[in-house]
Structure 1
């Protein structure tokens, strides 16, 4: 392998006048040996940082010719090793980060895969536009998010981010440069969006935008009934009166009780909704927006500029860094389920979760039409993304991992479909179960566009 590494570096740098940056020393590549989850460790042979499409194609062609594996990586925000190389090379695309001019007529913006969402926002906001859906963490790269899906507070209307992609430019395992869309090479389009980079590398894309209003009013509602909370989310999810919708689970009234396995801590759960309405001059009428809802208390109302609202989760990420939680493990679980099924199993799940995982678990309604064919959701109505997102779990906390593994199996056994950026459990992920009757389609596309399996 040492010979291959040196040969790779020499070959690439001799092939391109500018030279491809290939990092080989152990101290420099250690950061790519794990991801944000910090649960899976890899053994990357080196980090390759192409700065142009031509350099990227050269790397892929060489890897294809010499049967070397490449693991595409942006900022490494996956949690189960999806962006971690095992006995292969890390292909870091963050240098491909151009954001191009916005098309105000078509309401689209083009960019390279390594651009960050905060860069997209900085370009579009001055034109009174934003991507139709934005992730909670704007530090992620565009390509990284498109390879997993992307969920945000406007997903109740627009679905995941990948349901709002006009086209994508891809380099396949054959080193072919292909532009694809829903009508041009649709099988590749469907396989790459949400496909973890296993069929091709996203080079650039065109994203659909929406026109925004200058201000947003957010209503913070408290519920003491899970059924009422779920009912109102489904109702609001179909409403054209609101723009943003997020559901939360909050713990309270902690104590100790007897269980078959002895005394244990427990908590009483409350539920929250954040309902956002964008406006320009005429403020939204509270009675119109909240009429007919079954909340027990309106705990807060806030007005701010929409440009500020998109960064509302930054304090959470800053806190994680300041407290050291950022460097802990993050066995995050995100799963798509129908409202009916989620309401049935959520009480048992919340009762199982250790208090050390905190609260703030989320349920966000996601429109399930217009999806890429291989982005899997249950074939039911009223789909939610249910997420367990602890700020950090200590490495030695094996009990929490054991419980989360049980939760993962409960969700899958109930017909849930995992969102693929998260922690996928202790055992090997069952891809046949995930894709179901579409598994053979995925295999066929994989064989066509990455026959040497250089992308894993």
Structure 2
């Protein structure tokens, strides 16, 4: 069995496909009795085997569905994808405040990883926007929240399934716009990219670095919700989109990557949290030693200034920047071992600057 990273392979002793929280609890108890770990797996989008095990693999997609949409919350099963969440909440004019760029990952999976999106500079992580969680711990079903079993609540959010199996979540919802204005802002370098992300007022903002003429091109994407918004200073291009089309913007790209075979190739990803004051230096040093071949044909470099609220398991520095070098081991490009070695160099550089690994990656 492999995950999206395609680097680690593990064969589980058995695969259990629970259809309820009670069946998850039963499977966890049975695994413990056999001396085996029980590891939850949604859609397996981890990069270095975090969703794999030689013990009991819990296929959580059987626990899917939106149970309730209230005035400002939705109750969902852990195996529900964010696409399925949106399909249930948008008819009510509501949406989660933070969405991942790729919607075909599960709520339980991203909450257990933290969950970062373009609105995380305003709303924090997806884990910051959970009202309560249903969790199986030591074979028992419990509910936790900031007020009830708060220690467990803090341990499972961003805990990568190590402290309990999330079976359900109550998610905070906010009003969803009907349309958005997406603005592309060219930037000179990493410092300018971070400056734009700090200074521009936008509902959704992110940064991207692309190969260009033997060097790198930097751009920020600022997205404003609602009609009548004015583009920020420095905007070079604008596009008006329906909100759902914007939220699901990766779907055509993923379809193309699947058709090209790139989606199935190994993805040696490196993702680190950096302190804002030293982020530009780390980014520029990393880019100076990186060639397009070391990124891969469909590799992506993302830079995201964000806010992390109270999610202790993420251990991000104050005023964090998420620097993501999302490599793809394409034919004719650098090998997987070489990409992993480059990831380790980035992690060492990040730690020397006061940063930490974002533990859903494959840096080490």
TM-score range, shorter chain: over 0.9
The SS at the match of 1:218 is strand
Structure 2: distance between partners of 1:374 and 1:389: 22
Q: 2:247 aligned with 1:313, yes or no?
A: no
User: Which of 195, 206, 209 is matched with 1:246 structurally?
Assistant: 206
The count of residues paired between Structure 1 and Structure 2 equals 359
Aligned ranges 1:117-136 → 2 under 5 Å: 117-136=82-101
Three-state SS of the structure 1 residue aligned to 2:64 is coil
Please give the secondary structure, in 2, of the residue aligned with 1:147.
Answer: helix
Contact 1:337 1:416 in 2 (8 A): yes
Q: Which residue in 2 is equivalent to 1:419?
A: 358
Query: Offset at 1:335?
Result: 1.2
Q: Take 1:70 and 1:213, find their aligned partners in 2: how far apart are those partners? A: 40
Corresponding position of 1:145: 110
Match of 1:103 in 2: 70
Describe the superposition over 1:272-294 as per-residue Cα deviations: whole angstroms up to 9, x where unpaired. Answer: 011111114xx1123xx32xxxx
Deviations 1:233-264 (A, max 9, x none): 1112xx3xx2110111122112xxxxxxxxxx
Partners of 1:212 and 1:352 in 2: CA distance: 41
SS in 1 for 2:134: strand
Structure 2: gaps of 5 or more residues? none
| Stretch moving more, 351-360 or 243-252 | 351-360
Aligned residues of 1:71 and 1:84 also touching (Cα < 8 A): yes
Corresponding residue for 1:284? 229
Shift, 1:225, TM fit: 3.2
What is the deviation of 1:391? 4.2
Moved more, 356-365 or 243-252: 356-365
State the alpha-carbon separation in 2 of the partners of residues 222 and 352 from structure 1: 22
What residue number does 1:181 align with? 145
Aligned positions of 1:14-413 closer than 5 A: 33-86=1-54, 88-104=55-71, 107-172=72-137, 174-236=138-200, 239=201, 242-254=202-214, 268-280=215-227, 283-286=228-231, 289-290=232-233, 295=234, 298-356=235-293, 357-358=295-296, 360-368=300-308, 370-378=309-317, 380-381=318-319, 383-393=320-330, 396-413=335-352
Gaps in structure 1 of 5+ consecutive residues: 1-32, 255-267, 426-456
Larger Rg, first or second structure (1 or 2): 1
For 1:324 and 1:72, locate their aligned partners in 2 and report how far apart those are by CA, in whole Å.
27
TM-score (norm 1): 0.76
| Kept after mapping to 2: 8 A contact 1:41/1:81 | yes
> Normalising by structure 2, what TM-score?
0.94
- SS of 2:174's partner is strand
Question: RMSD of the alignment, in Å?
Answer: 1.6
